[in-house]
Amino acid sequence: MSNEKENNDVGNSKQEEQKNEAQEQQQQKKVRPRKAKQDKPPADDQGIWRMNRRNVFTFAGWLAFLGFIATATLGFLRYLFPRVLFEPPTAFRAGTPDDYVIGEVDTRWMEQYRVWVVRTRTGIYALHAVCTHLGCTPRWLDTEGQFKCPCHGSGFTQEGVNFEGPAPRPLERLHIAMENGVIVIDRGIRYREELGQWAEPGAFLEYT
Ligand code: FES
């Protein structure tokens, strides 16, 4: 009888042990963190960088759009800064008539502006110091009373008229005017004798 009881006790304790083990295993299963699911794309997903025909057209469309925006922006900026050539003014102030001696050729503006100023008994005119042959700079020869070109020997009178050498026409006169008692010469406006322009008002400043 006692043996039977012992056997029953042993059986019960085994069952309990098994039961406990099963519970522990269940708890461990509960506690064990689940593996994170891998975020695998579906098999038919082409992905953002895997080009199919549709993606290529979309990409090309965006590229064209961005290119257009960039070009338009550059064009707008270019419009804000126009290509302008800033040149020095062609006119300059040349003092008063009293600064010039009647009958003399004044060379003070030669180096800076390539201009001679000549005062006569009736007025003042300005000559452009450029030879009408090939553009050399003539010299005023005071003792000979003439302009002489060093390149090919053309000669011009004090009035600027050609009288020797290959120069085909007289020197050009420049626009001259009086503003508030000051002589203003404009190298941008020229007068040619052979065209009858020396008779125009701006070619000669009357002053006595
Ligand atoms: S350039 Fe003056 S004579 Fe030829």
- In 3-state terms, what secondary structure has residue 126? strand
Q: What are phi and psi of 172, to 5 degrees?
A: -90, 145
pLDDT surpassing 60 at residue 90: yes
Atom of ligand 1 nearest to the CA of 134: 1
The total number of residues shown for the chain amounts to 208
Atom of ligand 1 nearest to the CA of 138: 2
Is the domain spanning 92-206 CATH 2.102.10.10? The answer is yes
Whole-number Å distance, alpha carbon 136 to ligand 1 midpoint, is 6
Q: 132 CB less than 6 Å from ligand 1?
A: no
Whole-number Å distance, alpha carbon 169 to ligand 1 midpoint, is 11
First and final CA of the chain: distance in angstroms? 165
Buried b / exposed e over 46-71, threshold 16 CB at 10 Å, is eeeeeeeeeeeeeeeeeeeeeeeeee
pLDDT of residue 19: 79
The ranges of the chain annotated as CATH 2.102.10.10 are 92-206
Q: 129 CB less than 6 Å from ligand 1?
A: no
> In this predicted model, which residue has the larger pLDDT, 59 or 161?
161
> In this predicted model, which residue has the larger pLDDT, 20 or 51?
20
Task: Answer whether 113's CB lies under 8 Å from 130's CB.
Answer: no
Nearest CA to ligand 1 atom 1: 134
Average pLDDT over residues 18-32: 73
pLDDT of residue 22: 76
> In this predicted model, which residue has the larger pLDDT, 126 or 11?
126
Taking the C-alpha atoms of residue 55 and residue 157, their distance in angstroms, rounded to an integer, is 83
Model's pTM, two decimal places? 0.62
Give the angle subtended at the CA of 174 by the CAs of 168 and 179, to the nearest 5°: 170
Mean pLDDT over each residue of the chain, to the nearest integer: 86
Q: 78 CB less than 6 Å from ligand 1?
A: no
pLDDT surpassing 90 at residue 79: no
Q: Which amino acid is at 2?
A: S
Over the stretch 43-69, which tens digit does the pLDDT of each residue have?
666 555 566 777 788 888 899 999 999
Partnered with residue 78 across adjacent β-strands are none
CA distance readout (Å), 23 to 17, 29, 34, 97, 122: 10, 10, 19, 125, 132
Average pLDDT over residues 178-200: 96
pLDDT of residue 146: 97
